[in-house]
Amino acid sequence: MSDLLAAARAWAADDPDDQTRAELEAVIAAVEAGGAAGDLADRFDGTLEFGTAGLRGELGAGPNRMNRVVVTRAAAGLAAYLLDTGHKGGSVVIGYDARHNSDVFARDTAEVMTGAGFTAYVLPRPLPTPILAFAIRELGCAAGIMVTASHNPPRDNGYKVYLGDGSQIVPPADAEIAARIAAVGAVADVPRGRPGKVLQEEIVDSYLDTVAGLVDDGPRDLEIVYTPLHGVGGVPVERVLEAAGFDAPSVVEQQEQPDPDFPTVAFPNPEEPGAMDLAMALAERNGADIVVANDPDADRCAAAVPGPHGWRMLRGDEVGALLAHAVLAKGKQGTYACSIVSSSLLAKLAAAAGQPYAETLTGFKWISRVEGLAFGYEEALGYCVDPDNVRDKDGVSALLLLCELAADAKAAGRGLFDLLDDIALAHGLHATDQLSVRVTDLDEIAAAMARLRATPPTELGGLAVEAIDDLNLGSADLPPTDGLRYHLADGARVIVRPSGTEPKLKCYLEVVIPVDPDDGVDAARIAAVGRLDALRNGIKAAAAI
C-alpha cells in the first residue's frame, strides 16, 4: 500500500492539469483515511498500452487512464522516435475530434512537437479522422496524430498515430515508439514550444473536393437521411453531398451537433442496437430512400434501406460488397483486400473482375499497407475507396459512393437490395453474422480461447469442421495474432478472437448458400438464417461462453 500511495503522490506532483491532479489527490486522501484502495490500484495497474492503435482508455488521473501526463509522454516518445529515424526538422500534423479533452491533448502534442524541433500543424477544428490521414500526405508530414476514441463510450479518449505514408503504425514501429515513451522522465522536464500552426480551411476544402471528385456524373434523385451520431461528420458530409450534386440530407436533429456525452445512444457506434433508431424513424416519416450514418470521428459508414418488412441496417459485409461492386464498375485496377474476419465474397468479386485479392489481419493498419491497394474494407463498417489519397478507412467517401450507387439503382427502378441479389445470384448468398460477448474480467476471454484450443470442436452448428487455423502461429501471409479460424463444410466459416479495442470476445460467422434461380434469393436467405443460428449456438457451446 505504501508503494502505491508513493507512486500516486509522485504522479500528482508531476501532473500539469489542475482537474486530474485534484481528482487523484482526493482518491489518495480517501485511501489514507482508511477507504478502499481498489480505484487507486486500478489507476496504477500498469500503463495504457501503446500499440498499433496507439492509446485508448478512460479519461482520468493515473498511468492507466487517458490524461495530459500520458499524452505528453506519448508525444515525447513519438518525437524521439521520429528524431531517431531521420526526420529531424520535419513536420507533423495533429487532428482531434469533439470528445472531452481532445482539443487539450492536441495542444499538448503540438507543444511537445515544436519543443522537439518539429513543425506542428493543427487541423482548424474538430474534424473527421480521414481528413487527418489525408493531410499527412497532402502536407508531406513525417507523422500524424489523431486524438479520438472513435466509437468508444463517452468516458474514453484515444491517441492514434500515423507515419508519413498516411497509414497507422504497425510493428515494429509501435514497440519502438513505446520504448521511447517508457524512457521519458518527468513531464515537467519535457521541452515545450509554441502550440503549432493552425491550418486554414484550405486543407478541409482540398479533402472535400477530392472526395466529391470520386463520383461520376449521373442520377442524383435520392432522399437521404443522415446522422453523425453526435460526432464531427455533419458539416463535411453535408458539404460533400452538395458538391457532388445531391440535395441536402435530412439530418437527425437530436444527433446533429457534436456532443461528447452522446446523450441519445448507449454506445456511439452505428452497429450497436438502437443507435440508428432515430435515423430510421425519420426516414420512415420522410419516405426516404436511404439512411446513412457515421461514427463520431466519421471514419466508419453505416447504412439502412427500406425492405418488405421495414427499414433494415445493412451489415458491414453487405456494404463492403456494394462498394467493391461500385469501385470495380468504375474500372479501378489493383488489389482488393479485406480483413480475415470479413466475408469471403470479396475474393470472388475480385476474381470475377480479374483483379488480385488479399486478406489481412483485423484492422486498417494492415489493410492500408496492401501493395497496389485499389479497395479495402473490414466488416466493422470501415471502407477505403480512395487509397491514393486516404490510406485509412474513410466514412465520408464511402458514404458518398454508397449514395451514388443508390441513386443509380433508383433511376433504374431498383434498390440496393436488388444489387445484393444480383451479387448473390452470381456468387452464392454469403450471409454473415457476429456474436460478441462483453466481459467485466478479461481473464474470461483468455479462458474461453484456452478451452477452444484444448478441446477443438469437430462440428459447429451441424457442419463438420474440415480445418482449423490457429492464428497465433502465423503463416506465410499473416503475422501471428490471437485467434482461431474454423473452415466448415459447404464453405461456412467461424473465426473467434478477442477484440482489440473493447472487453469482448468476438465470433464471426459466415455461411454460403447457393441460389437456385427458380427459388430466388429469399429462399437462400431463409436457409442462411437457420444455419447462422446453429453456428452461433455451436460456438457458444464449444467456448462455454
Residues catalogued as catalytic = 150
Nine cell digits for residue 192: 515545450
d(Cα 328, Cα 333) in Å, to the nearest integer? 8
d(Cα 527, Cα 536) in Å, to the nearest integer? 15
Angle at 269 between CA 500 and CA 101, to 5 degrees: 80
Alpha helices (H) in 428-520, listed in sequence order: 443-454
Nine cell digits for residue 273: 442496437
**β partners of residue 146:** 95, 160
d(Cα 204, Cα 236) in Å, to the nearest integer? 8
- Dmax (CA) for the chain in angstroms is 76
d(Cα 137, Cα 159) in Å, to the nearest integer? 19
Coil, strand, or helix at residue 429?
A: strand
Residue type, 476: A
Alpha helices (H) in 146-244, listed in sequence order: 173-182, 202-212, 234-243
Contacts of 422 (CB under 8 A, 6+ apart): none
Nine cell digits for residue 49: 498500452
- How many CB atoms sit inside 10 A of residue 517's CB? 7
Q: What single string gives the DSSP state of each residue in 24-79?
A: HHHHHHHHHTT---HHHHHHTSS----BTTBEEEEBSSSTTSBSHHHHHHHHHHHH
Start-to-end C-alpha separation, the chain:
35
DSSP state letter for 253: G
Structural contact between residues 311 and 284, judged by C-beta atoms closer than 8 angstroms:
yes
DSSP state letter for 95: E
